[in-house]
Every structure is written in structure tokens, then in C-alpha cells.
Amino acid sequence: MNDTAVRLTGLTRRFGPVRAVDGIDLTIASGSTVALLGPNGAGKTTTISLLLGLAPPDAGTVTLLGRPPGEAVRAGQVGAMVQDAGFVPGATVRDLVALARGLYPRPLDTARVLALAGLTDLADRRLDRLSGGETQRARFAFALAGGPDLLVLDEPSAALDVAARQAFWAAIRRYAADGHTVLFSTHHLHEADEYADRVVLLAGGRVVADGSPAQVRAVAGGRTVAFDLADGSVAGLDLLPGVRSVQVRGGRVALTTDDADATVLALAADRGFRGLEVTGVGLEAAFLTLTGTEGNH
């Protein structure tokens, strides 16, 4: 197997005056699991389309496992799960897996594909009668069927409930443990934190952070001060010393701050609170800081 699964060099794609992908250089080693993150409009889906050869770049090159994307896909080295892929009307899950297996020279066994995708009990159900989460698992089965060395997943856990999401990521872990490379994009930052060896963070079509989840958190710096407000008011919290961002979920507030001591002292002098907790900055706070989307949420 080639030591490098993905190599992007100077990758650029424009839509009119907008550079959706702006000169990305990225190398992914074989056998790694990498999360591609970024806010809406950061260039994630465009980057994946260019990587798979679904759209041509305006500049730059893409190499997958030492080959151009089209060659790697035809050789069965690459499997992809893209958003909103359609299916043949009236076909069953088993039909879909059989079709996918027929496209590749060394496909996985049908039973293994169905088991990995959590579809064994649904093998004979028509695709147009699947729920949203089941349809997403069928897309995953299609991507797996060829036994690809590189698995590319665009928002793979969308529409999955909690139990299905846990089962899905358990399957990804098993597949990656066999030495396969997995590249996935997600809006669920906890998934990147838990399952990725490496996080690549995009903003404005460029790479703004690249490293392990812990390294990306460290680049953002700061700490998180979390608490329950006694009076329910968040007015003025962004003006406390050191505070960079304010997030509110229910009655729980999380402040990202460059000076946790000063923030806590000012908070204690200014208002009442309960359940104070000071921790290192989380991946979500790092995401907001590094992509320039921090503020009140």
C-alpha cells in the first residue's frame, strides 16, 4: 500500500469571484483517521468533490494512493459516501450492495458489508422504504462494498439517532483498525474529538489548523469557564475580563477566556452563579476561535 493516501497540492476552486478552495496543501498518511471540519461555506464539500474527481480544480493537483482520483476509484481503492446520493427505484438493500460489489475488482463479502453497515436485518427491504437514518447506512454500505483502502465520508452521521450513530462509529473504528484510511467531514465536533487521529480545520477555503484534537485545542489557547446563571441573564458576560466568546445552552453558560482567574473574580463580584467549572478549552471553543465565528451562540 502507498504510504500516502491523499496528497493535495495548491488545490484551488473558484465559483465566480469566490474562492471556495484557496490553495490547499494537505497530505494524509495511509492508515490514519482524519476529520475535515469547518463552518458552512468553509470549503469542506468542495474539497471532497475535488478530491474524488467529481469536479475539476482550477489549479493544483490531487493524488490518491499514488494515482489520479479517477484511476484510484476505478481500481477499487477509494469508496465514498456523499451527501444526497440517490438510489435505483424499487431496489433492495441487498441489490444495492450487489451493484456496488460488481463495480470493484476485490469487493468485501456481502454479509460483511451488511454487518458493518448495520443492515443485516434490512437486507431485503426496498431502499425507498428506509427511514432517513437507514438510508444513510445504505450509503455507507455502498461506500464499503469495494473494500476500499481509502474511505471518504461527507457528513456520514447525518439523520442517525444516538444508538445508530454509536454503532456507525464503532464500525468505522473496526474498519480503520484493519489499516484503512478514513477521511470524514462532520458538524458534530465531539465525533472529531473522539474518533479522529487528526483534525484539519478549514475557514474561507484555507487550512487554519491541522493536528491532533489536543493540538488544535492548544493552538486556540485559553480555558473554558462554565456555570449555571442564578438570574438567567447573559447581558454583559462578553465584557468580563479575558472573555473571547460566550455560549449558552439551556441555563448553562460557557465562557472561553484568555485569563480564567480574572474572569472568575469579575464574575463573582458581578453576579450570582452555581456549578462553576474551569477546564481547558474544548474542540468546539477552538473551532469558534480559529474559524473566526466566535461570539454569542
According to DSSP, residue 281 is labeled: P
What cell was used for 133? 437514518
User: Cα(first)–Cα(last) distance of the chain, in Å?
Assistant: 45
Q: What is the CATH number of the domain that holds 145?
A: 3.40.50.300
According to DSSP, residue 109 is labeled: P
CB 121 within 8 A of CB 176: no
According to DSSP, residue 2 is labeled: -
pLDDT (0 to 100) of residue 30:
95
Considering the domain architecture, whether residues 92 and 117 belong to the same structural domain is answered as: yes
Q: Is residue 288, in this structure, part of any structural domain at all?
A: no
Considering the domain architecture, whether residues 18 and 81 belong to the same structural domain is answered as: yes
Which parts of the chain are beta strand (E)? 4-15, 18-29, 33-37, 59-64, 78-81, 150-154, 181-185, 198-203, 206-211, 223-229, 243-249, 252-257, 273-280
What cell was used for 234? 447573559
Domain residue limits at 73: 4-217
Considering the domain architecture, whether residues 157 and 29 belong to the same structural domain is answered as: yes
Q: Is residue 193, in this structure, part of any structural domain at all?
A: yes
Considering the domain architecture, whether residues 86 and 104 belong to the same structural domain is answered as: yes
Q: What is the CATH number of the domain that holds 264?
A: 3.30.70.980
Considering the domain architecture, whether residues 35 and 172 belong to the same structural domain is answered as: yes
Considering the domain architecture, whether residues 196 and 61 belong to the same structural domain is answered as: yes
Give all strands of the β-sheet with 198-203 in edge-to-edge order: 78-81, 150-154, 181-185, 33-37, 198-203, 206-211
What cell was used for 64? 490518491
pLDDT (0 to 100) of residue 295:
42
Considering the domain architecture, whether residues 203 and 246 belong to the same structural domain is answered as: no
pLDDT (0 to 100) of residue 293:
61
pLDDT (0 to 100) of residue 220:
72
Q: Is residue 285, in this structure, part of any structural domain at all?
A: no
What cell was used for 134? 437507514
Q: Is 239 helix (H, G, I), strand (E, B) or coil?
A: helix
d(CA 204, CA 192): 20
d(CA 28, CA 11): 14
d(CA 256, CA 260): 8
Considering the domain architecture, whether residues 251 and 167 belong to the same structural domain is answered as: no
Q: What is the number of structural domains in the chain?
A: 2
- Residues whose CB falls within 8 Å of the CB of residue 20, separated by 6 or more in sequence, listed in order: 13, 14, 41, 43, 46, 205
Considering the domain architecture, whether residues 174 and 250 belong to the same structural domain is answered as: no
pLDDT (0 to 100) of residue 285:
72
d(CA 168, CA 117): 7
Q: Is 271 helix (H, G, I), strand (E, B) or coil?
A: coil
pLDDT (0 to 100) of residue 279:
85
Q: Is residue 156, in this structure, part of any structural domain at all?
A: yes
Cross-strand pairs, 169: none
pLDDT (0 to 100) of residue 296:
39
Considering the domain architecture, whether residues 155 and 231 belong to the same structural domain is answered as: no
What cell was used for 218? 492548544
Considering the domain architecture, whether residues 149 and 266 belong to the same structural domain is answered as: no
What confidence tens digit (pLDDT) does each residue in 10-46 have? Answer: 999 999 999 999 999 999 999 999 999 999 889 999 9
Q: Is residue 169, in this structure, part of any structural domain at all?
A: yes
- Residues whose CB falls within 8 Å of the CB of residue 36, separated by 6 or more in sequence, listed in order: 44, 47, 48, 183, 184, 185, 200, 202
Which residues does the chain have with pLDDT short of 50? 295-297
Considering the domain architecture, whether residues 132 and 232 belong to the same structural domain is answered as: no
What cell was used for 18? 469566490
What cell was used for 286? 477552538
Q: Is residue 290, in this structure, part of any structural domain at all?
A: no
